[in-house]
């Protein structure tokens, strides 16, 4: 048995039968490999040799696979000397292609998608009409001194903005991808759509002040408050429930019953506390108690966009009204693929979308409360 063991960065070990040969190979690589200079934070420098990149460039393909297997750059564990089989010859690719998991988007899931603005419009206008007048008692047929009804109108004008992203393919790369069984253009188109939709989702919450786009969190007319009540498992359940009940009925009470919230988005860290804290005899969670105490709120959802949005890291609970009377996502053009532009062997494709921020016409139905979370 060898007295020398090679341990790689993953903790796997294997015996070295001929350490002299290994040392000779390392020495040869060190002499031929390119040298690089590294500058430290204190300004001093030192040289090092890039042995691995030199070896991968010098070795022939089959030997390079063997080198990669030793340096943990291969995905299988077959020995390089497995008879006539190559390193990848006995490896089967699984049919399922994994893609990066991404956080959910809450904007379109919960709010009303307003598509009334036509593509190409640069602004949209929201008109509100109002009136003044007075009803008076009279004991005769005379109309002298009777107040007339007066009509008035105000307009809110906001811009529509257009987002664009692009992808490019060339004939030879696409040919290679086709040989591999990969739909390169299709994959890029899916990525483009995700990029546009996620930008709209994020801007729909935070807004873009430089472009005059209102978001849910920065809407100029939305009532908001920072609560002194901390949400934590150590906090008394009755205190937390009372704070939520007061916030959920804020629109109804303070508008003389004109407005009323019927839905709520909750930050995930707050929802975790509500669903994990037991109350009473332990048969109910705090969340179940809150739902029973606020029957006017018929929809409760978790929105990761409300986590840590306060100036001091507070997380939010947004009460709103479902449908057109609540939050509207203004869009004039869904993510749309434009016909490709062909330039010789190179092609470019563009995807565009029209977005006008979030419009909350009856903003009195909405109320944002930020809570410290511990």
pLDDT in tens, 4-23: 555 555 555 566 666 555 55
Examine residue 285 and state whether it is found in any structural domain, yes or no. Answer: yes
Of all residues in the chain, the percent with pLDDT exceeding 70 is 78
List the single range of 57-66, 90-99, 135-144, 292-301 with lowest mean pLDDT. 57-66
The least confident of 41-50, 76-85, 322-331 is: 76-85
Instruction: With respect to residue 63, please indicate whether it lies within any of the assigned structural domains.
Output: yes
Euclidean distance between CA atoms 270 and 231, whole angstroms: 7
- State pLDDT tens for residues 179-197: 888 888 899 999 999 999 9
Work out how many domains the chain is built from and give that number: 2
Alpha helices in the chain (DSSP H): 19-32, 51-58, 61-70, 107-110, 171-180, 184-206, 237-248, 250-254, 268-276, 286-293
Task: Please report whether residue 116 resides in a domain.
Answer: no
Task: Specify the range with the lowest mean pLDDT, choosing from 31-35, 213-217, 266-270.
Answer: 31-35
Buried/exposed code over 149-184 (b: 16+ C-beta within 10 A; e: otherwise): eeeeeeeeebebbebebebebeeeebeeeeeeeeeb
The predicted structure's pLDDT at residue 35: 63
CATH code at position 291: 3.30.2320.10
End-to-end C-alpha distance for the chain, whole angstroms: 57
Is 171 in the same domain as 64?
no
The domain in which residue 39 lies consists of 4-70
Whether 207 shows a pLDDT value over 90: the answer reads yes
* Residue at which a domain ends, from 45, 70, 95: 70
Q: Is the pLDDT of residue 63 over 60?
A: no
Question: Would residue 124 count as lying in a domain?
Answer: no
Q: Mean of the pLDDT values across residues 222-235?
A: 94
pLDDT at position 60: 47
Please tell me the least confidently modeled range out of 27-36, 92-101, 168-177, 249-258: 27-36
pLDDT of residue 93: 82
Mean pLDDT of all residues in 330-347: 92
The least confident of 3-7, 216-220, 338-342, 365-369 is 3-7
Whether residue 89 lies inside any domain: the answer is no
The answer to whether residue 172 is domain-embedded is yes
Residue 97: per-residue pLDDT: 85
Do 198 and 322 have their domain in common?
yes
The residue out of 70, 88, 110 marking a domain boundary is 70
Same domain, yes or no: 57 and 171: no
Q: What is the mean pLDDT of residues 54-66?
A: 50
d(CA 250, CA 261): 8
Domain boundary among 43, 70, 97: 70
Is the same domain home to 318 and 173? yes
The model's pTM is 0.73
In a domain, 103, yes or no: no
Whether residues 236 and 350 fall in one domain: yes
Output the pLDDT for position 16.
60
Say if 133 falls within a structural domain.
Answer: no
Examine the domain organization and report whether 45 and 180 are in the same domain.
no
Average pLDDT score, the chain: 84
Residue 202's DSSP bridge partners are: none
What pLDDT is recorded for position 143? Answer: 73
Q: 244 and 350 share a domain?
A: yes
Statement: residue 78 has pLDDT above 80: no
């Amino acid at each position: 048995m060898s007295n020398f063991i090679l341990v790689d960065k993953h903790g796997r070990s294997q015996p070295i039968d001929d350490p002299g040969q290994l040392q000779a190979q390392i020495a040869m690589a060190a002499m031929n490999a390119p040298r690089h200079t590294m500058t430290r934070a204190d300004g001093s420098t030192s040289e090092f040799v890039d042995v691995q990149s030199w070896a991968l460039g010098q070795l022939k393909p089959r030997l390079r696979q063997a080198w990669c297997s030793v340096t943990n750059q291969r995905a299988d564990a077959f020995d390089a000397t497995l008879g006539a089989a190559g390193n990848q010859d006995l490896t089967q690719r699984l049919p399922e292609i994994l893609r990066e998991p991404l956080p959910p988007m809450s904007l379109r899931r919960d709010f009303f998608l307003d598509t009334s603005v036509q593509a190409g419009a640069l602004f949209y206008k929201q008109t509100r009409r109002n009136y003044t007048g007075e009803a008076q008692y009279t004991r005769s047929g005379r109309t002298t001194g009777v107040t007339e009804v007066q009509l008035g109108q105000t307009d809110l004008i906001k811009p529509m903005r257009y987002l664009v992203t692009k992808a490019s393919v060339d004939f030879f790369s696409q040919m290679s991808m086709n040989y591999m069984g990969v739909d390169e253009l299709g994959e890029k188109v899916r990525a483009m759509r995700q990029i546009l939709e996620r930008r709209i989702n994020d801007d729909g919450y935070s807004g873009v002040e430089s472009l005059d786009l209102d978001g849910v969190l920065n809407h100029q007319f939305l009532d908001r408050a920072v609560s002194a009540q901390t949400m934590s498992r150590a906090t008394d359940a009755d205190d937390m429930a009372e704070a939520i009940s007061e916030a959920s009925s804020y629109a109804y009470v303070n508008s003389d019953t004109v407005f009323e919230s019927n839905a709520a988005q909750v930050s995930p860290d707050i929802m975790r506390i509500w669903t994990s804290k037991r109350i009473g005899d332990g048969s109910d969670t705090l969340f179940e108690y809150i739902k029973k105490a606020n029957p006017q709120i018929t929809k409760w959802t978790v929105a990761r966009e409300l986590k840590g949005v306060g100036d001091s890291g507070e997380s939010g609970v947004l009460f709103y009204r479902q449908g057109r009377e609540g939050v509207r996502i203004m869009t004039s053009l869904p993510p749309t693929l434009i016909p490709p532009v062909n330039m010789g062997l190179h092609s470019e494709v563009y995807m565009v979308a029209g977005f006008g921020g979030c419009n909350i016409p009856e903003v009195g139905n909405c109320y944002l409360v930020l809570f410290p979370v511990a």
